């Protein structure tokens, strides 16, 4: 998705859905998008944090955005993705 801002620059966005809500973030803030894969659970983490994944030697926390925002969701499906921003 691309939008043009008030000074004529093109703003590229990535759109995604959490539950029934739609969101968009600036593409320049996204490092990569990955399929949902095995998550290593860690005891005593706060509720929205599902655990961590090892992405090419980098440990990345995985947060359930629906839970963090208080939005009901269908859980993990074949369309679930992990957005790595940074």
User: Could you state, in order of their start, the residue ranges of all structural domains in the chain?
Assistant: 2-85
pLDDT of residue 3: 62
pLDDT of residue 2: 61
Environment class of 38 (CB within 10 Å of its CB; exposed 0-12, middle 13-18, buried 19+): exposed
Q: Check if the beta carbon of residue 53 is closer than 8 Å to that of residue 40.
A: yes
How far apart (Å, rounded) are the C-alpha atoms in residues 35 and 47? 21
pLDDT of residue 9: 79
pLDDT, tens digit, 9 for 90 and up, residues 29-64: 999 999 988 899 999 999 899 999 998 898 999 999
pLDDT of residue 42: 93
The CATH homologous superfamily to which domain 2-85 belongs is CheA-289, Domain 4 (2.40.50.180)
34-39-45-47 Cα dihedral, nearest 10 degrees: 70
> How far separated are the first and last CA of the chain, in Å rounded?
20
pLDDT, tens digit, 9 for 90 and up, residues 5-30: 666 778 899 999 999 899 999 999 99
């Amino acid at each position: 998705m691309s939008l043009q801002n008030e000074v004529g620059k093109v703003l590229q966005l990535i759109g995604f859905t959490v539950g029934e809500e739609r969101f968009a973030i600036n593409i320049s803030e996204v490092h990569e998008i990955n399929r949902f894969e095995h998550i290593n659970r860690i005891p005593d983490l706060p509720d929205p944090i599902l655990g961590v994944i090892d992405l090419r030697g980098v440990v990345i926390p995985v947060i359930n955005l629906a839970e963090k925002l208080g939005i009901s969701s269908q859980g993990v499906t074949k369309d679930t993705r992990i957005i790595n921003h940074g």
